[in-house]
Amino acid sequence: MNHNITSRSIWTIITVVFVLTSCGEEWLEVRSDKKRVVLQRVSDVQALLDNSSTMNEAVNPSLGEVSSDLYVITDTRYNALTNMEQRNAYTWEVDIYEGASSSNWSRPYRQILYANLALEALETVEDKNRYPDAVNNTAGSALFFRSWAFYQLAQLFCVPFNAETARSDLGIPVRLDSDINVRSVRSSVYDTYMQINNDLVKAIPLLPEKPQVPTRPSKAAAYALMAKLQLEMADYSKAAAYADSCLLLHGALIDYNTIDLEKAYPFSLFNDEVIFHTTMVSSAMFSRASNYMIDPDLFNAYDDNDLRKAAFFKANGDAWTFKGNYTGNTRYFSGIASDEVYLISAEAYTRSRDLETARDRLTTLLAHRYSGHSYGIPPISDEVGLMKFIINERKKELLFRGIRWADLRRFNKEKEFETTLYRMVDGRSYELPPNDKRYVLPIPDEVVLLTGIAQNIR
């Protein structure tokens, strides 16, 4: 992919990557020499953000998906796993890492570091007055990337947002400076979410409505992330407004009647629904289709004329595995697509008791998913009933995108929608009750030792 990266920009990226990685991958272990990072032009800064291997690929945490209820593995496969982080996350152990580092923490923080470098460089680049539109786009992109990484980290490493306790609940370290010598401290959950909100408020007017390529942020992507954020904060009127603003710019849906359901991977990279492209941190659990099986109850929840059943799953002996990645390959898409935004809109309107509009959003989405477009919303006339339908559809539509864990955490706050998770491994039963402390993952041990920040209580 060519983003018009100049030779100067290429060497800038090489220099920055060397500086950022020479002392190991973990963000908090980096010792950078800023004098070696020369970002002289706006195009240099844009090139830094166009480094998709850092900003887009294998960047979103996957541990939530590993801990979720979408799949099961056999005892044989579990006992063959050598990755202790994956083994321990699968059975919701108190100690997940056993002293090891974790890309689920370091990759988003590296993304934040690049965003902070970009924002700082834009203040001093020599041609910023010549290219104001480029400066705006690059600044908006950096703000979006930073807010995206903060959001992803918040869904794993701090408790769900609760307006009554958010100011005292521990959030994540909110890094707004590229100087790693500045001491890391944990902000509150409230401050974490407000920083995400504030970054997006600044980014929206700076970004183009649609990007040149889906690895770059856009106004549509910022509206969608803001809708996700407001849903987490239970501000449903704002969630509906932002979701609809996104859909006005990017509301395209794939008609599953038109795709080849027999293909190994039916969806193309950067398909019409993709608003912003990222993928999850690689996971040993999902590295091969033979490693795991789709939860039978989930598979059986799809109607026979629901085309997602053929588009998403392939047979593996007597079981089924997932093939429905919106990457067109084995990588797990975890960005933003329009189908998720339709479901956000439907939920937000349901919560606001506008069931008619909610049903309209659901009908629009699901008509693109059923054979011959033969779909009608069941005659559900109450808010709780429609919410249960939406929760079920979120699980069926958005599986293996790094969303399910956040959904479980959020819905567990309401008695009508809570879920208890179960595992059976080697004859031993494991259980994760709603709102259990293990829904907040521990911060990697080495980060706690290095910085002295408080560990999450499991």
Does residue 266 surpass a pLDDT of 50?
Answer: yes
Does residue 16 surpass a pLDDT of 90?
Answer: no
345 within 8 A of 361, measured Cβ to Cβ: yes
Nearest C-alpha neighbor of 39 from the set 108, 109, 142, 110? 142
Q: What pLDDT does 26 receive?
A: 40
Q: What pLDDT does 288 receive?
A: 78
70 within 8 A of 150, measured Cβ to Cβ: no
pLDDT tens digits, residue range 62-82?
999 999 999 999 999 999 999
Does residue 295 surpass a pLDDT of 80?
Answer: yes
Q: What pLDDT does 377 receive?
A: 87
Does residue 3 surpass a pLDDT of 60?
Answer: no
Mean pLDDT over residues 300-314, rounded? Answer: 97
pLDDT band at 181 (very low <50, low <70, confident <90, very high): confident
Among 16-25, 193-202, 304-313, which is the least confidently predicted range?
16-25
pLDDT band at 453 (very low <50, low <70, confident <90, very high): very high
H or E element at residue 313: strand 313-316
Question: Distance from CA of residue 372 to its chain's centroid?
Answer: 32
Compute the distance between CA of residue 444 and CA of residue 97 in angstroms, rounded to an integer: 7
pLDDT tens digits, residue range 319-355?
999 999 999 999 999 999 999 999 999 999 999 999 9
pLDDT tens digits, residue range 383-427?
999 999 999 999 999 999 999 999 999 999 999 999 999 999 999
Does residue 19 surpass a pLDDT of 70?
Answer: no
Q: What pLDDT does 289 receive?
A: 74
pLDDT tens digits, residue range 190-203?
999 999 999 999 99
pTM to 2 decimal places = 0.93
Compute the distance between CA of residue 32 and CA of residue 18 in angstroms, rounded to an integer: 9
Does residue 159 surpass a pLDDT of 90?
Answer: yes
pLDDT tens digits, residue range 201-256?
999 999 999 999 999 999 999 999 999 999 999 999 999 999 999 999 999 999 99
Q: What pLDDT does 37 receive?
A: 56
Q: Which own/partner contact pairs does 261-268 have at CB distance under 8 Å and 24+ positions apart?
A: 261/307, 261/310, 261/311, 262/310, 264/314, 264/323, 265/323, 265/325, 265/327, 265/328, 265/329, 265/330, 266/311, 266/323, 266/324, 267/311, 267/324, 267/325, 267/326, 267/327, 267/328, 268/328
The tokens of 179 are what? 């100087």
State the DSSP code for 286: G
Q: What pLDDT does 8 receive?
A: 42
Nearest C-alpha neighbor of 421 from the set 39, 37, 92, 194? 92
